[in-house]
A and B are shown apart, each in its own frame.
Chain A
Amino acid sequence: GQNIDQPTEMTATEGAIVQINCTYQTSGFNGLFWYQQHAGEAPTFLSYNVLDGLEEKGRFSSFLSRSKGYSYLLLKELQMKDSASYLCAAANSGYALNFGKGTSLLVTP
């Protein structure tokens, strides 16, 4: 079965750093994705981890620990436009994605 858990909501201040955690249980794991979704829009790809460790891409970084079934998305130098829902998704053995409910991030001035 598939089980993706992430916090429902988070609030952070502009310019700060925020870490969004995700735990997963999935059969036939083939990688962990993070997507950003603004209200009423389609998800856009942020990152993909299949090996343990940290992947850095500009202001966004993503970490994976396969043994712990754990990932996090780190957002640095937060901007107001980063207010969105962040979706954690685990790829199964067929490479279909199982999405979590998303973490709604509010960035305040």
Chain B
Amino acid sequence: EADIYQTPRYLVIGTGKKITLECSQTMGHDKMYWYQQDPGMELHLIHYSYGVNSTEKGDLSSESTVSRIRTEHFPLTLESARPSHTSQYLCASSEPGADEQFFGPGTRLTVL
């Protein structure tokens, strides 16, 4: 059983608001990831981290930012949300190497 958590699960906010999506894992994994997935579409990697103080942008350009101050915590922030940010955001973590990625339950974000 994977122990990776995301909050909130659902969020509806107005345009221009600053939001932070939380992701935490208790498995001690060094690698963490953020994916964006629109309904019926593929997952797109938007950010990843190989350890504390390491963050990289993924294949899909995103206006969000991330930080990795602690191993277990990988929050994603949108400084000014827009309707185009409406999507599902999935956090994942894995051990070093090409091991399976464990996914959190996701945050479904709607920006009005």
Contacts and interface: CB of A to CB of B under 8 A. Distances in A.
Interface residues of B, number: 23
A50 B98 contact: yes
Given A30-B98, A33-B100, A91-B98, A96 B105 contact: no
Given A2-B59, A100-B42, A95 B103 contact: no
B97 A96 contact: no
B85 interface: no
Interface of A: 2, 4, 30-31, 33, 41-45, 48, 50, 87, 89, 91, 95-102
Given A42-B106, A97-B33, 10 more contacts: A42-B105, A45-B100, A87-B42, A89-B43, A96-B48, A96-B59, A97-B43, A99-B44, A101-B41, A101-B42
Interface of B: 31, 33, 35, 41-45, 48, 58-59, 90, 94, 97-106
Contacts of B44: 99
A107 B99 CA distance: 30
Given A96-B48, A98-B59, A99-B43, A41 B98 contact: no
A4 B106 CA distance: 23
Contacts of B98: 30-31, 48, 50, 91, 95
22 contacts: A30-B98, A31-B98, A41-B105, A42-B90, A42-B104, A42-B105, A42-B106, A43-B43, A43-B90, A45-B100, A45-B101, A50-B98, A95-B31, A95-B94, A98-B45, A98-B59, A99-B42, A99-B44, A100-B42, A101-B41, A101-B42, A102-B42
